Amino acid sequence: MHTQDIQTIVSAARETADAIVGARQWKTAEDASAMHDVIFWDMLAKRLPDANIADLLSMFD
């Protein structure tokens, strides 16, 4: 998969997590942040099942 395709998937996952988390009120900012992370990484795991997290992070450094 090309880097541009991966960047598109990452961007879409981030936007989706932002929208879902932003659609409700949270008791704490930490809860919202934790849920954002869960949604984001779950979406990436589903769309990029063979990707290594370290490799993904290195692409965007």
**61 pLDDT more than 70:** no
**pLDDT of 59 above 80:** no
**pLDDT tens-digit profile of 2-43?**
888 988 999 999 999 999 999 999 999 999 999 999 999 999
Residues 40, 9 contacting (CB under 8 angstroms): no
* Model confidence, pTM: 0.82
In the chain, what are the domain boundaries?
A: 3-59
* The predicted structure's pLDDT at residue 56: 79
The pLDDT value recorded for residue 34 is 96
> Helix 3-22 and helix 29-47: axis angle, to 10°?
140
